[in-house]
Amino acid sequence: MLSRTPIASAKKKIKRRQSTWQRIIVVFIKILISPLVLLADSFRRKGILDNSWLYAFFLFTTVVMGLTGMGILLNDIPLFKTLRMISTQIESREILAGDLRPIIKTINKYALQFNVDPNLIYAVIKSESNFQTMVISRSGARGLMQLMPEVWREYNPKSGCNGNHKDRRVCKEGDCIFDPDANIRTGVNYLRDLLDRYQGRVDLALEAYNAGIGNVRPGMAPKYRETRHYIQQTLSSWQDLRKFTIDQQLKLSIQLQLGLKWLFGLTFFCWVVLFWWANRKLFRK
């Protein structure tokens, strides 16, 4: 009898382990199929579903929400860092001076109106004036988009502005070649016409914008070295910007990301409260 006791106790331990694992497997399967059971039960006219199934469903939903939240947070970290990095670079005061938000809003407005890629407009302004509103080039081009006075008069025939001043207050509001809104509107309109003239060839449109239509020679290299550098620089900036969204859209995206996290946290907190209430009031008798 004494020799059989260790064997019998070992068998009991094995049975207990087996029964424990069996219970765990049964509970796991029950949790997995609980949504289907509740869905099927919703079509039953009579009978009350056992509370264990309802508890399994609550547990299943809570675990899924928790895993989903963790996935969102972990997956969002690289995107959030990238958006913050791009936004910081665009706002860098070492590259661009002043508050660009009004200018970017104006770019987006006229990009939609004239059906021009806003990133291309942004790249043109960056190359032309680096977002300086009152700059005048050696050739006489003026403002953000470096408009020549003759181009300004062509697109604004009723304008009283001749561009021979550096104070916008001498002109009527909205009728000045240095006014950001009017300058961008005219420049985008002119750029749209150049794109149409050259069948969408951005390189030729930029060449004409910088050197003048009379100096464009399709099929040949740009006439001036400065123009060649300008086209290369603008196209490079445009290609880079097309991969991202600029300033306001980046900030909006970052705010939405933060708002989503807070919203999920609030939703999950409410769900935990509901789960705790159900556990206390429904499942414990």
CATH of the domain at 146: 1.10.530.10
**Tens of pLDDT, residues 110-124:** 988 898 888 899 999
Clarify whether residues 113 and 225 are in a common domain.
yes
40-49, 101-110, 121-130, 154-163: the lowest-pLDDT one: 40-49
Clarify whether residues 81 and 127 are in a common domain.
no
**58 touches 283 (CB < 8 A):** no
Catalytic residue of the set 128, 150, 173, 226: 128
Distance separating alpha carbons of residues 57 and 60, to the nearest angstrom: 5
- Nearby residues of 207 by Cβ (< 8 Å), 6 or more positions away: 215, 216, 222, 227, 231
Clarify whether residues 67 and 41 are in a common domain.
yes
Cβ neighbours, 10 Å, residue 112: 10
**Tens of pLDDT, residues 255-284:** 666 776 776 777 677 677 667 766 666 666
**Tens of pLDDT, residues 151-183:** 999 999 888 887 787 666 777 777 888 899 999
Domain that holds residue 140: 101-244
- Nearby residues of 73 by Cβ (< 8 Å), 6 or more positions away: 261
Residue 199 lies in a domain: yes
Clarify whether residues 199 and 265 are in a common domain.
no
Clarify whether residues 222 and 147 are in a common domain.
yes
In this prediction, residue 250 has a pLDDT band, given cuts at 50, 70 and 90, of low
Clarify whether residues 39 and 159 are in a common domain.
no
**128 touches 146 (CB < 8 A):** yes
Clarify whether residues 63 and 116 are in a common domain.
no
| Residue 154 a catalytic site member | no
